[in-house]
Amino acid sequence: MPKSVTLKDVAAKVGVTSAAASMALSGHERISEKTRAAVKQAAEDLGYVPSSAGRALRSQRADAVALVVPNSSAHVFGHLYFMHVLTGMSTAANAHDAQVIVSTNADTSNGGVAYERVMRSRTADGAIVTSAAIDDHHVEGLVASGLPVVLIGNYPHLADAVSVGIDDVAATEQLVEHLVTEHGRRRLLHVSGTLDHQTGIDRRDGFLRAAEMHGLTDVAVIEGDLAEESGAAAVEQVLRERTGDERFPFDGIVFANDDMAVGGLAVLRRAGVSVPGDVAVVGFDDFGFARVTTPGITTIRVPAEEMGRIATERLFDLVDQRPGGRAHTELGVEVVLRGSCGCDPERAAAPGPTHSH
Amino acid sequence: MPKSVTLKDVAAKVGVTSAAASMALSGHERISEKTRAAVKQAAEDLGYVPSSAGRALRSQRADAVALVVPNSSAHVFGHLYFMHVLTGMSTAANAHDAQVIVSTNADTSNGGVAYERVMRSRTADGAIVTSAAIDDHHVEGLVASGLPVVLIGNYPHLADAVSVGIDDVAATEQLVEHLVTEHGRRRLLHVSGTLDHQTGIDRRDGFLRAAEMHGLTDVAVIEGDLAEESGAAAVEQVLRERTGDERFPFDGIVFANDDMAVGGLAVLRRAGVSVPGDVAVVGFDDFGFARVTTPGITTIRVPAEEMGRIATERLFDLVDQRPGGRAHTELGVEVVLRGSCGCDPERAAAPGPTHSH
DNA sequence: CTGAAAGCGCTTACAG
DNA sequence: CTGAAAGCGCTTACAG
């Protein structure tokens, strides 16, 4: 492993002090044009890159931001959602010449959680926290500590925290509205996310509120956990509990995310229940799966990449002590219509892949 | 923002020097049991966490590893592949108390690429590089520089580099073998990845070699770029060029990855070509999509998470100067049989979701 | 055995 | 105007 080139090496080559070399590289005016050029040339020749540790120690700034993945969402690490958030973070971080650190929350050993250590050790100047459970006190502690943190999602109990999110209630209402108004569905099932996360609560509340507004009486909620299997399990439960001759007791299912919709769709298919013929299905997220199933899943497009990007911009505002705007930034969402609700007839009517000739 | 607690604060509280406090915290024997306990208590009370910059500067070690995403694969950043690799990296990094840095390769401004800067600045102790193009000279330079680097994939022209990968040639041969032997397909099309990446070349070569071994004469290769759209484009091209009465000129398509298979599948469906009836389809990767399409896509499961984990272990070997084993570690893969090749009749025969009653 | 300096690499505030 | 010290936080090697 090659010894790394320091500022001293560069300075020595030119015959100035390292202090002068530092100023030369940063374009300080007190260094003559000639010396400045010589130092820059020497730095280039030697392949000099400033030591991040030296610089961080001196400037009290790591030039890095961390993405925190709390324990409570460990099972969804590996999900495209994080990749989208990470992509957005990278875009913003690159613009600020900062590194992106991914902090999965392994070490709960020393009484503290990993991401708190990341912050306190100043490895990162600030953190983005996403998918935290409502009762995750570590998040509250972090926010309360005054360290720069931006939350992705809605945290009503942390009203002062800077956060970026969407309106899950309104978005879910839109989906229900669509099923009722456009497709005449009135017997609706909601398969919710975990109710210890605000998104789980909000999407369920949106469902219930819209159902009430439309005077729907045949509605039910089954609690899921956002995993594909839990969507499958919910549908299996309905199939098991239906009375004898019933085809399917609901004519629409609102899954709290696409993964569960995928799982539910597979079970419906195997049971010979037609989608959208017998049951209309909608999901939430649009991170990829919803586009490739047959039929495609009507869903809400969550702008995860933009959330990551904006959250990171807000985080730099905090780190640089720029007077922030609103504590919460709300991004718009979009309903994406596909075959599973009965829309997009071209696609829905196309021969299925198992069609024989 | 709260002022961070330093070792000096802890030492002051106990009435010892910061050097003594440092030794106490690291359990050095020369510090009395009593002082050790007092220092630990004080550290806990004050919420002391060592500064990573201070420690890194002193120990010449960042305790961080970087995942590098080269420019050439910028379009696939945001792909589940990276998330799997990242998950594996995190597992290994956590075990070594190290941070994971994600370095997308934005800054090509200063003549150097971002990940070279990450390495030279010692922000990370080493890097994992994946999806690098064959002619990416920056990778060669990095490897040649002697900095700790582990490559994911196969790099025949960098035979001395430490790397972790799978046998793409053999895996693709297995797929062809399956189509020929189990499903009697003999007119095969390969939609390749970009041929400036070794995986693109290897999967194509595996296809061609297996075709030759089985004496297939009706084979063709179309170069794609791993994106869903390019799989669609390849199939469209075939449809466009077929002669009048022909249904589909091939009875099997080997896509170099699942994404392209998904794109191809959609076009086939719209054209009324049955899968697997008229054409058997296979993909490569199994990062998610292949499982949720209808029919499911027969594919090769690439152990991306394990690749990330093992590459990171190898990287720590390098960083810690442990005598490494082989330069290249090859992981096994698994053929996953689903409906698109004609296997899994239970699923393939199940009523499609657009089936009407 | 223990106290305290030295130095990792950097940049700014100070002394001359 | 310019040279060089001081100090960010840490830990180890040295002096006493």
Q: What DSSP state is assigned to residue A156?
A: G
In this structure, the number of other CB atoms found within 10 A of the CB of residue A181 comes to 10
A6 touches chain B (CB under 8 A): no
Tell me the pLDDT band of B326, cut-offs 50, 70 and 90: confident
State the Cα–Cα distance between residues B136 and B77, nearest whole angstrom: 17
- A-contacting residues in B 311-340 (Cβ below 8 Å): 321, 339-340
Closest residue of A to B4, CA-based? Answer: A120
Q: What is the pLDDT of residue A60?
A: 94
Element of type H or E holding B11: helix B7-14
Tell me the pLDDT band of B45, cut-offs 50, 70 and 90: very high
- B-contacting residues in A 48-87 (Cβ below 8 Å): 49-54, 56-57, 62, 64, 77-80, 82-84, 86-87
CB-strand contact A109/D, under 7 Å: no
B300 pairs with which residues across the strands? B335
More confident residue, A185 or A136: A185
Residue B29 confidence (pLDDT) above 80:
yes
Residue range A230-254: mean pLDDT, rounded: 91
Per CB-CB distance under 8 Å, the chain B contacts of A77 are 83, 87, 90
State the Cα–Cα distance between residues A98 and A56, nearest whole angstrom: 12
The answer to whether the Cβ–Cβ distance between A102 and B102 falls below 8 Å is yes
Half-sphere exposure of B32 (CA within 13 A, CB side): 4
What is the percent of chain B where pLDDT is above 90?
A: 74
Q: Is B134 helix (H, G, I), strand (E, B) or coil?
A: coil
Residue range B293-305: mean pLDDT, rounded: 96
Residue range A284-290: mean pLDDT, rounded: 95
The answer to whether the Cβ–Cβ distance between A94 and B107 falls below 8 Å is yes
Residue range B52-76: mean pLDDT, rounded: 85
B177 touches chain A (CB under 8 A): no
Picking from A30-44, A88-102, B93-107, which range would have the lowest pLDDT averaged per residue? B93-107
Closest residue of A to B267, CA-based? Answer: A353
Q: What is the pLDDT of residue B196?
A: 93
Q: What is the pLDDT of residue A142?
A: 86
Nearest by CB to residue B117, choosing from A49, A355, A356, is A49
Q: What is the pLDDT of residue A1?
A: 65
The answer to whether the Cβ–Cβ distance between A107 and B90 falls below 8 Å is no
Q: What is the pLDDT of residue B152?
A: 97
Beta strands in chain B (DSSP E): 64-69, 99-104, 126-130, 149-152, 162-166, 188-192, 220-223, 252-255, 280-282, 299-301, 328-331, 334-336
The gap between A30 CA and D2 C1' (Å) is 9
Q: What is the pLDDT of residue A57?
A: 95
- Chains A, B: CB contacts within 8 A come to 231
Identify the burial level of A129 via C-beta atoms within 10 angstroms of its C-beta, where 0-12 means exposed, 13-18 middle and 19 or more buried. Answer: buried
Residue range A246-255: mean pLDDT, rounded: 92
Q: What is the pLDDT of residue A108?
A: 52
CB-strand contact B294/D, under 7 Å: no
Question: What value does the mean pLDDT of chain A take?
Answer: 89
The answer to whether the Cβ–Cβ distance between B269 and A103 falls below 8 Å is no
Residue A348 confidence (pLDDT) above 50:
no
Beta strands in B53-208 (DSSP E): 64-69, 99-104, 126-130, 149-152, 162-166, 188-192
Tokens 């500022």 found at = A7
What the block records as the tokens of A83 is: 């990749």
Closest residue of A to B106, CA-based? Answer: A94
The answer to whether the Cβ–Cβ distance between A352 and B355 falls below 8 Å is yes
Q: What is the pLDDT of residue B112?
A: 55
Please tell me the distance in Å from A203's CA to the nearest CA on chain B.
24
Q: Report the protein residue whose CA lies nearest the C1' of nucleotide D2.
A: A30
Question: What value does the mean pLDDT of chain B take?
Answer: 89
Smallest CA–C1' separation from B10: which nucleotide? D9
B287 touches chain A (CB under 8 A): no
- Which of B148, B143, B71, B146 shows the shortest CA–CA distance to B103? B71
Q: What is the pLDDT of residue A324?
A: 67
Residue B349 confidence (pLDDT) above 50:
no
Peptide bond into A276 cis (omega under 30): yes
CB-strand contact B71/D, under 7 Å: no
Q: What is the pLDDT of residue B28?
A: 87
Residue A352 confidence (pLDDT) above 50:
no
Q: What is the pLDDT of residue B246?
A: 75
Tell me the pLDDT band of A326, cut-offs 50, 70 and 90: confident
Q: What is the pLDDT of residue A351?
A: 41
* Helix runs in chain A, H state only: 7-14, 18-25, 33-46, 52-59, 80-95, 114-120, 137-144, 168-183, 198-213, 228-241, 258-270, 289-292, 304-319, 345-349
Residue range A234-261: mean pLDDT, rounded: 92
Q: What is the pLDDT of residue B69?
A: 83
pLDDT digits (tens, 9 = 90+) for B111-146: 456 678 888 899 999 999 998 889 888 888 888 888
State the Cα–Cα distance between residues A58 and A322, nearest whole angstrom: 22
Residue B108 confidence (pLDDT) above 80:
no
Q: What is the pLDDT of residue A145?
A: 85
CB-strand contact B350/D, under 7 Å: no
Q: What is the pLDDT of residue B352?
A: 40
Q: Report the protein residue whose CA lies nearest the C1' of nucleotide C3.
A: B17
Q: How far is CA B239 from CA A346, A350, B21, B222, B230, in A?
A: 19, 17, 75, 13, 14
Q: What is the pLDDT of residue B123?
A: 95
Tell me the pLDDT band of A355, cut-offs 50, 70 and 90: very low
Tell me the pLDDT band of A345, cut-offs 50, 70 and 90: low
More confident residue, A328 or A351: A328
The full set of domains in chain B, from first to last, is: 7-50 (no CATH), 64-165+306-331 (3.40.50.2300), 168-302+336-349 (3.40.50.2300)
Q: Which residue of B49, B255, B259, B347 to mutate against A (max A Cβ within 10 Å)?
A: B49
Nearest by CB to residue A289, choosing from B86, B292, B356, is B292
- A-contacting residues in B 89-118 (Cβ below 8 Å): 90, 94, 97, 99-104, 106-107, 111-112, 114, 116-118
